[in-house]
Amino acid sequence: DPTDPTDPTDPTDPTDPTDPTDPTDPTDPTPTVDDRDPATLTTNTEAEATVSGTAQAGSTVVVTLGGETMTATVGASGTWSVTFAGSTFPADGDYSSSVVVTAPGGTVYNLDGPDYLIDMTRPPVEITDGTQSTGDIENAAEHADGVTIRGTSEPGATIRVVISGHEQTATVGGDGTWSVTFPTSDVPAGTYSQGMVVTATDIHGNVTTLSDTLVVDTETTVRFDNGLAGGDDLVSGAERAAGDLVLTGTAEAGASVVVSFGTGSRSVTADANGRWSTSFSSSEYAAGTYTAEARVTATDLAGNTATTTHLIDVDTEVSPISHWTDTPGTDGVVNGAEAASGLQIEGTVEAGSVVTVQLASGRIVVASVNSDGTWSAQIPASDLPTTETNNLPLTVNATDPYGNTTTQTSLIDVDPLVRNFHAFSTVTNDNVVNRTEAQSGFAISGTVEAGATVVVTLENGATRTVTAQGDGTWTAVFTTTDLPGGSGAMGYTAVATDAAQNTATTSGNFSYDLVAPDAPVIGDVTNNGNGTRGLYADVSESDHYVIQTVTADGTVILMRDSEPMSTPSDDEYYSFNRVPDGQFLVVTDSDTAGNEMSTLLVVSPNGSVTMDLNNSGLTQFDFGSIDLHHASVDLTITAEQLQTLTGGDNDLIVRGDANDRVTALGATDTGETASLDGHSYSIYTLGDEGHRILIDDSITNVTI
């Protein structure tokens, strides 16, 4: 049995002295490989790997590592060793070596050798952003949040960047990229270049180092030149009209420069000397007086920006400029008194300006200009017109210190006198004011320029102030209360003041007679029982009485207006057409002044009559008496009727006899009497004004 362990020929019998693997056989030792820890071979070590061990002398040893094979023969010492180096050194990789020992007797032993991790390649490292080699310059915007350097390397490698003694590290990501950021405290702002070292260390300790340069440029400048716009930083009207406004300045060479002014904007590039220049047309900035801001922004080659401004004064006009004259006062018209002192012109203007004034085509007067810009000029009185002249052109010319000119004009009215002032020669048709005219108002009138104020003063002090109408007429109305009463002569003065405050005076006089004649006293009447055809009356103050009748409907009919018939007695006789019994007769006397006084009577020899004092026709007369003798009359009178009949300025005498009845409603018996024409009369007052009514004591039936 070949497997019998006692079989001396059993090749697996451990006690078989011929077993080539018998470890106890001192002449056939078992091959070994020296133990060692797994080794990592990098650029930091020698590029060689040694595998060693023991075997029977004369054995052949074949060692394989990373695809490389080396062979050795075991010497008499029983040890062997091979070293992979040079051309036999394996490529990078993680390897386990294998050992095949062939003993002299042909026995082959397969053994495991030591492990080797071989990484003899330095990690690649590259800077992709942030340094001079990448064309980058760290400008102010980029620098504000720190300085970042970016690159690529072997994933997992450690990156160390050193700049000026400051260090930042990073681990390369799985995509092979890395970045580090230095705070601004490590890399200050400014304009400079600073070397840097970047070290990449892979996970096996291989190191790659490269150097680069950090370029920092966080600064740029830009400015305007001083003395622009002709050297004084001021654009005058002439300069604006002459051409474009040129603005110049400096910036970093090559910088892009954007200049704005008014509504315009220009882009230029600073030349090699850092100079820039551009211009703006007059359409891009307004005329006037103001301060405009020019603005420039420069962007240098690093992307830094700088902005500055420059003030340009624009003064293309004379401003302020104004003028006025206080000479005409508030009415704007130079009157005679004002013109006597000349025409004072005043105003305001830019300080340092020259101002001239000229009225119409008269002399040119140079104004006096004060340091605060106020000015004044006096046009002599001799240059002003002596008659009313409207719309005289006043021209004001001003030239400011920058040569700007302007002209202002206004119109001046000169009115040195009151025009067309006079008073009419008479105040009434006959220049005598009678009582009726005085009661209704009498007028002193005349003409003057329209709108003038006329103050008329009577010599007794009574005054009226009136304004002339559009046609130039004026009328001042006075009444009875303005006259002293009675009769006499009265002078007056009229003073006119026109719109320009010129004054003129005129005067005149008139007569007045406010005393009416006595009311006619009626004697007998001629009545044949079918109406009245005549009457006797006392002698008129004029040459005759006027006789009228008033019908029941108020119609007034003239019966006679001519001289009476003479009679043997003292009375005068007036005949006229028949007046029916019971119809009013009115007998009126008048004086040379036109004052009138009337007597009202009714004739009805065959019956009684009730007098209607409300008859509208009676309002045309001024009654001094009512005669009741020629009828049996029932007369009722009120205060209002008394006022209407007399006008309130004379007593009313009621003549009659015992056949008559008088009722004076609301009258008061004064207890006084009067004697007229040989008859006694009781005196009563009637109404709030206390007007008097005198009733013939022959009338015994009186009621109050």
Number of domains in the chain: 6
Q: Are residues 677 and 597 in the same domain?
A: yes
* Interatomic CA distance for residues 13 and 45, integer angstroms: 48
User: Using the 8-state DSSP alphabet, how is residue 233 labeled?
Assistant: I
Q: Which helix (H) or strand (E) holds 336?
A: helix 336-339
User: pLDDT tens digits, residue range 521-571?
Assistant: 999 999 877 899 999 999 888 889 999 999 999 999 999 999 998 777 778
Clarify whether residues 454 and 374 are in a common domain. no
CA separation for the pair 278, 420 (Å, rounded): 72
* Domain range enclosing 614: 522-702
Residue 373, class by beta-carbon neighbours within 10 Å (0-12 exposed, 13-18 middle, 19+ buried)? middle
Helix (H) or strand (E) holding 623: strand 623-627
Contacting residues for 15 by C-beta, under 8 A, at least 6 apart: none
* 660 lies in the same domain as 566: yes
Q: What is the pLDDT of residue 409?
A: 96
Residues of the chain with pLDDT under 50: 1-26
Q: Residues 386, 339: one domain?
A: yes
- Do 526 and 543 touch, CB atoms closer than 8 A? no
Among the candidates 84, 119, 154, a domain finishes at 119
Structure-token pair, residue 159: 């990156």
235 DSSP β-pair partners: 314
SS3 assignment, position 92? coil
Give me 28's structure tokens: 């056939």
Question: b/e per residue, 131-163, with b = 16+ CB within 10 A?
Answer: bbeeebbbbbebbeebbebbbbbbbebbbbbeb
In this predicted model, what pLDDT tens digit does every residue of 331-364 receive, in sequence order?
Answer: 778 889 888 989 999 999 999 999 999 999 999 9
18 in any annotated domain: no
Dihedral sign from CA coordinates of 522, 523, 529, 534: negative
301 and 227 assigned to the same domain:
yes
Which residues have CB under 8 Å from 372's CB, separation 6+?
351
Residue 11 placed within a domain: no
Single out the residue in 191, 217, 243 at which a domain terminates: 217
HSE toward the beta carbon, residue 305, CA cutoff 13 A: 8
DSSP assignment, residue 91?
A: P
Question: Does some domain include residue 262?
Answer: yes
Q: Closest by alpha carbon to 140, among 215, 223, 217?
A: 217
d(CA 523, CA 7): 217
Beta bridge partners of 158: 171, 201
What gap in Å lies between CA 80 and CA 51, rounded to an integer?
9
DSSP per residue, 628-669:
-TTEEEEEEE-HHHHHHHHTTSS-EEEE--TT-EEEETT-EE
Based on the fold, state whether residues 481 and 528 are members of the same structural domain: no
Residue 587's nearest CA partner among 649, 642, 542, 537 is 537
Q: CA–CA separation, 135 vs 147, rounded Å?
A: 15
Picking from 630, 575, 580, the residue whose alpha carbon sits closest to that of residue 600 is 630
The CA distance from 158 to 201, in Å, is: 5
583 in any annotated domain: yes
Which residue's entry shows tokens 């997992």?
156
Q: What is the DSSP string of 540-590?
A: -SSS--EEEEE-TTS-EEEEE-SPPBP-SSSSEEEEEEEE-TT-EEEEEEE
Burial of 259 (0-12, 13-18, 19+ CB in 10 A): buried
Neighbours of 277 (CB within 10 A): 15
Please tell me whether residue 616 adopts helix, strand or coil conformation: helix
pLDDT of residue 41: 82
**Alpha carbon 435 to its chain's center:** 66
CATH number for the domain spanning 481: value is 2.60.40.10
- Per-residue pLDDT at 605: 87
The pLDDT tens digits for 588-647 are 999 989 999 999 999 998 889 999 999 999 999 999 999 999 999 999 999 999 999 998
Mark which of 486, 513, 540 sits at the end of a domain: 513
- On the 0-12 / 13-18 / 19+ scale of CB atoms within 10 A, 8 is exposed
Residue at 5 is within a domain: no
- 530 and 507 housed in the same domain: no
The number of residues in the chain equals 704
pLDDT tens, 287-328?
999 999 999 999 999 999 999 999 999 999 999 999 999 877
CA–chain centroid gap for 183, Å, is: 54
Separation of alpha carbons 220 and 382, rounded Å: 71
The answer to whether residues 541 and 669 belong to one domain is yes
Q: Is residue 415 part of a domain?
A: no
CB-CB contact of 17 with 25 (8 Å):
yes
Angle ∠(57,19,32) on CA atoms, nearest 5: 40
d(CA 463, CA 274): 91
Q: Which of 226, 104, 211, 222 is nearest to 161 (CA)?
A: 211
Q: Is residue 330 part of a domain?
A: yes
Domain assignment present for 4: no
Contacts of 608 (CB under 8 A, 6+ apart): 631, 632, 633, 634
CA dist 389 and 414 (Å) reads: 5
Residue 13: name the closest of 525, 22, 180, 352 by CA.
Answer: 22
- For residue 260, the model assigns a pLDDT of 98
Does residue 665 sit in the same domain as residue 572?
A: yes
Please give the Cα distance from 231 to 236 (Å, whole number).
12
In DSSP terms, 631 is beta-bridged to 604
Q: Pick from 517, 513, 533, 514: which is nearest to 525 by CA? A: 533
- Claim to verify: residue 541 and residue 636 sit in the same structural domain: yes
pLDDT at residue 330, rounded to an integer? 66
Nearest of 218, 207, 219, 193 to residue 131 by alpha carbon: 193
Which of 438, 478, 402 has its CA nearest to residue 622? 438
Task: Tally the C-alpha atoms within 13 A of residue 568's C-alpha that lie toward its C-beta.
Answer: 0
d(CA 28, CA 296): 99
Q: For residue 27, what pLDDT is reported?
A: 57
Q: Are residues 172 and 230 in the same domain?
A: no
Report the pLDDT value the prediction gives residue 329, as an integer from 0 to 100: 67
- Residue type for 405, please? T
Q: Coil, strand or helix: which one is 237?
A: helix
Say yes or no: 390 and 429 in one domain: no
Close Cβ partners of 617 (under 8 Å, ≥ 6 residues apart): 550, 551, 554, 555, 556, 584
**CA quadruple 603, 606, 610, 615: dihedral sign:** negative
CA 465 from chain center: how many Å? 45
